[in-house]
Structure 1
């Protein structure tokens, strides 16, 4: 059944893309739609098999150099999200960001309309050393040792293009082996669970508290024709049994710190905790919390304004 959603659009500058995206992620979204004119120009100038040729040249003449969109359920929490994002965008000026017009708009959209619009801009994209994310309606021939993930993100987003997802994938590429059991917390579109399977994991279990995300993730698992990924609705602590070699959580700093107090009970000895969705300015705070919870920090990987903290 199609649902009514509310689309929040921020008209801003390329400079403000990361912090504005962070505002959306802080509201619990799995991802945002970003149209960054400067990035489009750069990719068009360096054509690759996954270039942005599908963007119309007229987009390069937009008044705003970046347009960021996020989709929220039309419920009692929406006014709080809108106020948070509106105040947050304005507040970026205090940190020296050029926010352009910094205009925040909102309108109701139908799920089917949104999905059809999204398909226009969602193309095969290489997002880590080996992983290419490909929408199911596009063709792509893998090169060398590339692993292709078939995706239809639906409203759950999680297409893999955001820094936080790329950071998680880099961690999975490093630590997953044929004996790995992987728990994916806040699975969204299921991209990290599917990637773990493609990288050779023995088993991956993705969990999410959003029913729409669970539905989307199950569909994506089916698209990839893999049988060692299980998607569950609910809280990790309540629906998953056993222990994992790797726990990956692409959520946000506050939730990562809460997980630090609980997740060890679900990890094997020498298990690896790959956390992301953490703004660089909060890295020390998260690192200190994980160390207090008994973790040893193995690595901190930075991509733009975001970082991933890998701990054992």
Structure 2
């Protein structure tokens, strides 16, 4: 998609999503995006599910569903809106609750979708020494600051999240000149790069997501580091040797699943730094660590999140 596009949005209900989206699919639109709060609210609660999700990530806070469709800038938006409003009346008359049933339109640029978020992402200091700098921003580093050049793209990890900050702070305390570090679920590669900047001898970033692997590898290049390797796959299947520190900024349920594998790739006396743990899951992770041969050394909190540093006995 290039240039400008007409974005047509219908604010409706989950119940009406199928017939309303059918309106768009019968038209010459270039793409349809659906936001249904029931995708989160109706899911089974439990390990590896959405029970940790914040409903406020949704545009209408879970109170309404919406459908957006994109049309050529040559199309007449008023004509499209009139057509959709007529179709919505028919759906409503058939007994389906369409909620607000409001139709909105705007002219958008494709580059807006990809780049608008960048204006809110500025150089950020995390920990005592690490500064995360977007590659498109200018920054003059001060004494003792270690600057990470970062373009997160579609991968998680910009340095602005509490879990990332706590992991960086834990790495600052524990990385030594001869340290071998494994970063599980490396995302943008920010923790792997931080470990290398802090003086680690060897760093390995692992992720199951090929998009994250590409993003992390590019960020390693941005920072001109030659002691980091980024690989795709499951931890124990792609890693040889053992680390002094394993860091994982994921979620509590996944951390609990990973603990057994972490033991296989961590030296005795090595540290496991884990974050992405909400308060309600903290004791679950601590119990799993202690029952698996780890001793918890430190638990740090920031907002709703926890970071746990444990040593393998």
State TM-score, norm by structure 2.
0.67
Q: Quote the residue 2:246 is aligned against.
A: 247
Unmatched runs of 5 consecutive residues or more in structure 2? 3-31, 46-50, 71-108
1:135 aligns with 2:134: yes
1:115·1:155 contact (CA, 8 Å) conserved in 2?
Answer: no
Q: 2 CA distance for matches of 1:112 and 1:221?
A: 25
> 1:1-312 alignment to 2 at 5 Å?
83-84=39-40, 102-103=61-62, 113-312=112-311
Separation (CA, whole Å) in 2 of partners of 1:108 and 1:267: 49
Aligned residues: 232
Distance 1:250 1:120 in 2: 25
SS at match of 2:154: helix
Change (3 A) 1:199 1:210: same
Contact 1:111 1:155 in 2 (8 A): no
Q: How many Å separate the matches in 1 of 2:185 and 2:285?
A: 18
Give me the TM-score of the superposition, normalised by structure 1. 0.68
Larger radius of gyration: 2
Which residue matches 1:67? none
Structure 2 CA distance, aligned partners of 1:227 and 1:108? 45
Deviation (angstroms), 1:114:
3.5
Conserved? CA contact 2:125–2:132, under 8 Å: yes
How far apart are 1:118 and its partner, in Å?
Answer: 2.0
Structure with greater contact order relative to length (CA < 8 Å, sep ≥ 6): 1
Change (3 A) 1:263 1:157: closer
Per-residue Cα deviation, 1:194-247 (whole angstroms, up to 9, x for no partner): 000000000100000111110000000000001000000111111111000000
5+ long unaligned stretches in structure 1:
3-73
Distance between the aligned counterparts of 1:188 and 1:177, measured in 2?
Answer: 23
Superposed CA RMSD in Å reads 3.2
| Alpha-carbon offset, residue 102 of structure 1 | 2.5
The SS at the match of 1:187 is coil
Cα distance in 2, alignment partners of residues 82 and 240 from structure 1:
39
Whether the 8 Å contact between 1:115 and 1:154 is mirrored in structure 2 is: no
